[in-house]
């Protein structure tokens, strides 16, 4: 009987550990899913607060696209169907409207492919 009690208390301890790991915030925000297509990002605007780190998971439903933003320090990344590209950036300390552009020539609407990052105070 004592061994059963030990196993039960060990199981309870493990549950507490797992729940603690789930409840603990890994970062300020959950990742945001973004889908690229010809020729837009959905959503096309993401709002963050100054200094926050945000991760976006980007995939494509149509065509191969890219992402890049010098002002947000986002290096060139490729976005392709059936693939998730993880991009993390830190919002600048100055509120305003920032842009992440498609970085791969993808056709007639390429220049319209902009993901707007709205940085709030
Ligand atoms: Cu493009």
pLDDT, tens digit, 9 for 90 and up, residues 11-25: 554 444 444 444 444
88 CA from centroid of ligand 1 (Å): 20
Residue 86 burial (CB < 10 Å; 0-12/13-18/19+)?
A: exposed
27 CA from centroid of ligand 1 (Å): 30
Q: What is the dihedral of CA 61, 65, 68, 72, to 10 degrees?
A: -10
79 CA from centroid of ligand 1 (Å): 10
pTM to 2 decimal places: 0.76
Name the band, by pLDDT with cuts 50, 70 and 90, for residue 29.
confident
Mean pLDDT for the stretch of residues 26-32: 73
106 CA from centroid of ligand 1 (Å): 4
Per residue in 56-106, pLDDT (tens digit) is: 999 999 999 999 999 999 999 999 999 999 999 999 999 999 999 999 999
Q: Which residues on adjacent β-strands are paired with residue 115?
A: 100
Q: What is the pLDDT of residue 3?
A: 54
64 CA from centroid of ligand 1 (Å): 8
- CA atoms of 76 and 79, how far apart (whole Å): 10
111 CA from centroid of ligand 1 (Å): 7
């Amino acid at each position: 009987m004592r061994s059963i009690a030990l196993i039960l208390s060990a199981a309870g301890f493990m549950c507490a550990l797992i729940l603690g790991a789930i409840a603990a915030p890994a970062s300020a925000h959950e990742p945001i899913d973004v889908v690229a297509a010809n020729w837009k990002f959905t959503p096309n605007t993401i709002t963050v607060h100054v200094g926050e780190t945000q991760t976006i998971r980007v995939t494509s439903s149509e065509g191969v696209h890219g992402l890049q933003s010098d002002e947000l320090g986002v290096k060139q990344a490729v976005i392709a169907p059936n693939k998730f590209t993880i991009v993390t950036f830190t919002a600048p300390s100055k509120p305003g409207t920032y842009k992440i552009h498609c970085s791969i020539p993808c056709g007639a609407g390429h220049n319209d492919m902009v993901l707007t990052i709205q940085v709030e105070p």
